[in-house]
């Protein structure tokens, strides 16, 4: 299965399937050669000293592409925020992504994640196209965000 987002609509409900790429350690040269310069959704994780992965960032990229965004966000030499730079310098960072050519679909997906992971914070708005949004994740590691 290709690393892309699939959408099915039934009545006024949307069903998204995110087919994540495999987790990869964030290394600048690998990112430059393997991550596509296309739009999509991505997640960044760091691995603590006990080998546990912690979600530190989830976002979408429309302009600029996944390659340049992931590259910038995972390189401590390019980061200015002291807290973020500290995490990047101390821990190994990992990323995964899924491609999408629909900005509105990515809005709905981030809305879903924000409601499930950070309920009540209202950080993301949905596209107002669907009554209900459902999501399943597929990944080579069988690792789900929610």
145 belongs to a structural domain: no
Contact 119, 102 (CB under 8 A): no
Token duo for residue 59 = 């976002």
Q: Is the dihedral of CA 121, 122, 123, 124 positive or negative?
A: positive
User: Does any domain span residue 143?
Assistant: no
Phi-psi region of 142 (alpha: psi -120 to 50; beta: other; left: phi over 0): left
- Number of domains, the chain: 1
pLDDT in tens, 110-139: 999 998 887 777 678 899 999 999 999 999
Mean pLDDT lowest for which of 11-15, 56-60, 77-81, 111-115?
Answer: 77-81
- Say how far apart CA 9 and CA 1 lie, in whole Å: 20
Q: Is residue 94 a contact partner of residue 45, using CB atoms and an 8 Å limit?
A: yes
Rounded to two decimals, what is the model's pTM? 0.92
Residue 145, helix vs strand vs coil: coil
- The answer to whether residue 69 is domain-embedded is yes
32 domain residue, yes or no: yes
146 found inside a domain: no
Nearest residue to 135 (alpha-carbon basis) of 41, 25, 38: 41
For residue 122, the model assigns a pLDDT of 65
**Domain interval for residue 104:** 5-138
Mean pLDDT of 33-45: 96
Residue 71 lies in a domain: yes
């Amino acid at each position: 299965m290709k690393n892309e987002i699939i959408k099915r609509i039934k009545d006024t409900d949307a069903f998204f399937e995110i087919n994540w790429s495999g987790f990869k350690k964030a290394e600048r040269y690998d990112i430059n050669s393997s991550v596509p310069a296309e739009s999509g959704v991505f997640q960044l994780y760091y691995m603590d000293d006990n080998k546990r992965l912690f979600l530190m960032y989830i976002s979408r990229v429309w302009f600029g592409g996944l390659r340049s965004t992931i590259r910038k966000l995972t390189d401590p030499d390019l980061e200015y925020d002291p807290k973020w730079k500290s995490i990047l310098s101390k821990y190994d960072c990992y990323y995964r992504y899924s491609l999408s050519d629909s900005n509105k679909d990515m809005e709905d997906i981030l809305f879903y994640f924000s409601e499930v992971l950070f309920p009540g914070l209202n950080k993301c708005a949905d596209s107002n196209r669907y009554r209900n949004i459902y999501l399943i994740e597929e990944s080579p590691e069988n690792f789900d965000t929610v």
